[in-house]
Amino acid sequence: MRRISMAVCCLLLASACAAPAGGAGDDGFVAIFDGRTLDGWDGDPAYWRVEDGAIVGEVTPATILQRNTFLVWRGGEVEDFELRVRFRITNPGNSGISYRNAEVPGLRWALTGYQADLDGPKRYVGSNYEERARTTLAAQGQRVTVPPVQAGDSLRAHVRSNAWTPSVVEAQLGHPDSLDAHVRDGDWNEYHIVARGNRLQHYVNGVLMSDVTDNDPVNGRRRGLLGVQVHVGPPMKVEYRDFLLKPL
């Protein structure tokens, strides 16, 4: 059975003892956000705070971003897991839940890796985007297989030239318009991420939005950091609450 790291297991055990009421149940999920502080999280305080029991990421006219910035959970690396979290985002707004990520050398609060995407206009919510790497692995409503990069191929050159389509679409889970109907505008929604081995599934409000099988042993990621993002663009606000994590 695959597991998250020992450091994460120890922190989850401690969190279970200190979790706020309703933060963890008998199903193995444990709260990794205490609802009051950013203890255990690391990000630029110009963009991240806690308000009304939620993690808030906000970009204002005075704090326009030059690059995406992340709030990183410092409890350890996640491997095989399920994550449930509620989110609310303004329109316009762009954010995401990053997992199995690595830190970008030389850049503080910058991550690269898988991301469960979400946005206010609902163009990307539920999709699987790989930050600073292979870009879109599965668009909203797609079940895909990602093949290995062929010998001699340059991943960086292909991504920069937009000449490489990394995923083979195996099935459509639904039309984006019908999937969007399950996402509440300007209200709380639930993200449910299931990462088991090389299969990555993103559910929003109980509806499967994307399903990726990543068969690339070179560029695929089996473990890494967890975080949330605020994206470059116009002023926006995103909120996250009830972060619940379960190792598989």
**CATH code, 47:** 2.60.120.560
Mean pLDDT, residues 215-240 taken together: 97
Question: Does residue 117 carry a pLDDT above 60?
Answer: yes
Task: Please report the pLDDT score of residue 42 as a whole number.
Answer: 98
Residue 135: which pLDDT band, with cuts at 50, 70 and 90? very high
Q: Tell whether 1 is covered by a domain.
A: no
Mean pLDDT, residues 139-156 taken together: 79
Task: Please report the pLDDT score of residue 75 as a whole number.
Answer: 97
* Structural contact between residues 236 and 59, judged by C-beta atoms closer than 8 angstroms: yes
**Is 186 buried (19+), middle (13-18) or exposed (0-12) by CB count in 10 A?**
exposed
Task: Give pLDDT tens digits for 151-198.
Answer: 555 554 445 444 456 789 999 999 988 999 999 999 999 999 999 999
Name the pTM for this structure: 0.86
Q: Tell whether 212 is covered by a domain.
A: yes
Average pLDDT, the chain: 88
Task: Give pLDDT tens digits for 82-99.
Answer: 999 999 999 999 999 999
Task: Give pLDDT tens digits for 17-53.
Answer: 334 434 455 699 999 999 999 999 999 999 999 999 9
Q: How far is the C-alpha of 66 from the C-alpha of 177, rounded, in Å?
A: 32
- Domain range enclosing 235: 6-247
Residue 127: which pLDDT band, with cuts at 50, 70 and 90? very high
Residue 149: which pLDDT band, with cuts at 50, 70 and 90? confident
Mark residue 56 as left, alpha or beta (left: phi above 0; alpha: psi -120 to 50; beta: remaining). Answer: beta
Q: Tell whether 216 is covered by a domain.
A: yes
Question: Does residue 71 carry a pLDDT above 90?
Answer: yes
Number of domains in the chain: 1
- 64 vs 162, residue with greater confidence: 64
Percent of the chain scoring above 90 in pLDDT: 79
